Structure 1
Amino acid sequence: MPNIDLILGADHGRRRSVRTEPTQRRSSQRLDALLDAAAAIVDELGFERLTTQMVAERAGASIGTVYRYFPDRVAVLHALRERSVRRYRERLAEAMECNELAAWWDVVDCALGVCIDLYREEPGFSVVHAAPRELSEIDGEPEIAHRIAKVLEHEFGAVDDEELRLRLGVCLETGAALIHRAFEREADGDARYLDEARRIVRDYLDAHFGATLPEGLAAGAASSSAA
């Protein structure tokens, strides 16, 4: 069982978009209601057309309530993305805890699968693709690439180095772009694009690491390929 804290760990320089952090349950519920309203608007109209007035009307709140938490529409979108990313990491940690990770590919495939699930289940999740990624201060690679690298190191003995993080960053960005496109094409995700996302990511990682990964990790790849 992987150490789920490797997925849920603290962000590097996480941006806070909420003007006033809620300290009481009622305030937290009000903030969630505003973000739920924003998510629904994003799904219906796209993030480009979202306004703070729309959020207020959809949530049944005053515009003053919106401005209490967000200075402008951009801050609303940033906060919605932060919430979606947090929920992605929570779901990914849960999936890794509940499923057997017999080979390194299971870890990467789990990350792609959770992304697909949240496009189907999490309102407004498409905003994750539209906004800039959280990047690690260490090397500028996506934060999720660092977290996946740590899991591979912990579970399969991979060397968490610049090369691994670069390759993971490239493949996860590629996979995420194809998944996003799949849901632009069809509401439930174009199966051909989803299949290609997994195939391209797998082929890419096999091409770069198939012969050079530590024996245990490479063996996991071989057994997964044979399955």
Structure 2
Amino acid sequence: MPNIDLILGADHGRRRSVRTEPTQRRSTQRLDALLDAAAEIVDELGFERLTTQMVAERAGASIGTVYRYFPDRVAVLHALRERSVRRYRERLAEAMEAAELAEWWDVVALALDVCAALYRDEPGFSVIHAAPREASEHDGEPELAHRVARLIEDEFGIADKQEVRFRLGVSLELGGALIHRAFERDAEGDPRYLEEAGRVVRAYLDEHLADAVSESSAA
């Protein structure tokens, strides 16, 4: 069974965007209700038009409640994105726990499949494409690329080197952009773009990770 903790890791995202971190269940539910409202607005109108007043009205809360947690609309969007990223990692970990990972590509393919699935059933998920990616403090590569690289090393022995993380980061960015485009064109995801996302990413990684895969096989 894959070590899914390598995908989950510690999550401190909410503390960066939320003004008051909830400590009680009721407060947590109130915060989630605000983010649920923001997600609905993003899906209906786009993130550019979201306002704190809209969030308050949609959630049935006072504007003061919104400002208790968020200083402005930008903080709302950041918190919604952080929640979406956290839920993505959780869903990816569940998928990996249930899957048979026969080769390194299975890890990347699942990452793409789960991304597409969340575009379908996680309200507001498109906001993940509208802000800078989380970068690792180690080398500036995307945090998700680090997590995937560590899992691939753990499962298949492909060394978690900077070059591997760079190539994974590029490939996940390419795949994510095509998946985002698929759902811009069709609410269920344009199948041509979804298929192309997998094909383009596989071709890119086959070319650029060939040496790393050969080294692990030889070892």
Which TM-score tier does this pair reach, normalised by the shorter chain? over 0.9
1-structure distance, mates of 2:20, 2:14: 16
Q: What is aligned with 2:48?
A: 48
Is the Cα contact below 8 Å between 1:175 and 1:198 reproduced in 2? yes
- Partner secondary structure for residue 2 of structure 2: coil
1-structure distance, mates of 2:104, 2:78: 32
Q: What is aligned with 1:168?
A: 168
- Give, as a single letter, the amino acid of the residue that structure 1 aligns with 2:89: R
Q: Kindly tell me: are residues 54 and 192 of structure 1, through their superposed partners in 2, closer, same or farther at Cα, counting changes over 3 Å?
A: same
Q: Kindly tell me: are residues 11 and 33 of structure 1, through their superposed partners in 2, closer, same or farther at Cα, counting changes over 3 Å?
A: closer
- Give, as a single letter, the amino acid of the residue that structure 2 aligns with 1:17: S
Q: Kindly tell me: are residues 74 and 161 of structure 1, through their superposed partners in 2, closer, same or farther at Cα, counting changes over 3 Å?
A: same
Unmatched tracts of structure 2, length 5 or more: none
**RMSD between superposed Cα atoms in Å:** 1.6
Is the Cα contact below 8 Å between 1:7 and 1:148 reproduced in 2? yes
- Give, as a single letter, the amino acid of the residue that structure 2 aligns with 1:51: T
- Give, as a single letter, the amino acid of the residue that structure 2 aligns with 1:110: L
Is the Cα contact below 8 Å between 2:14 and 2:79 reproduced in 1? no
Q: What is aligned with 2:152?
A: 152
Q: Kindly tell me: are residues 118 and 65 of structure 1, through their superposed partners in 2, closer, same or farther at Cα, counting changes over 3 Å?
A: same
1-structure distance, mates of 2:131, 2:29: 25
Q: What is aligned with 2:198?
A: 198
Is the Cα contact below 8 Å between 1:104 and 1:217 reproduced in 2? no
Q: What is aligned with 1:221?
A: none
1:125-149 deviation digits (Å, cap 9, x = unpaired): 0000111100011111000000000
- Partner secondary structure for residue 188 of structure 2: coil
Query: Comparing 60-69 with 9-18, which one deviates more in the overlay?
Result: 9-18
1:107-160 deviation digits (Å, cap 9, x = unpaired): 000000000000000000000011110001111100000000000100000010
Is the Cα contact below 8 Å between 2:158 and 2:212 reproduced in 1? no
Q: Kindly tell me: are residues 155 and 217 of structure 1, through their superposed partners in 2, closer, same or farther at Cα, counting changes over 3 Å?
A: farther
- Partner secondary structure for residue 213 of structure 1: helix
User: Identity across aligned pairs (percent)?
Assistant: 79
Cα deviation for residue 209 of structure 1 reads: 2.0
Is the Cα contact below 8 Å between 2:145 and 2:172 reproduced in 1? yes
Q: What is aligned with 2:126?
A: 126
- Partner secondary structure for residue 16 of structure 1: helix
Is the Cα contact below 8 Å between 1:12 and 1:137 reproduced in 2? no
Q: What is aligned with 2:88?
A: 88
Q: What is aligned with 1:8?
A: 8
- Give, as a single letter, the amino acid of the residue that structure 1 aligns with 2:137: E
Cα deviation for residue 210 of structure 1 reads: 2.7
Q: Kindly tell me: are residues 57 and 217 of structure 1, through their superposed partners in 2, closer, same or farther at Cα, counting changes over 3 Å?
A: farther
Cα deviation for residue 15 of structure 1 reads: 6.0
1:44-73 deviation digits (Å, cap 9, x = unpaired): 000000000000000000000000000000
Unmatched tracts of structure 1, length 5 or more: 219-227
Cα deviation for residue 181 of structure 1 reads: 0.4
2-structure distance, mates of 1:193, 1:15: 35
Q: What is aligned with 1:223?
A: none
Give TM-score scaled by structure 2 length: 0.96
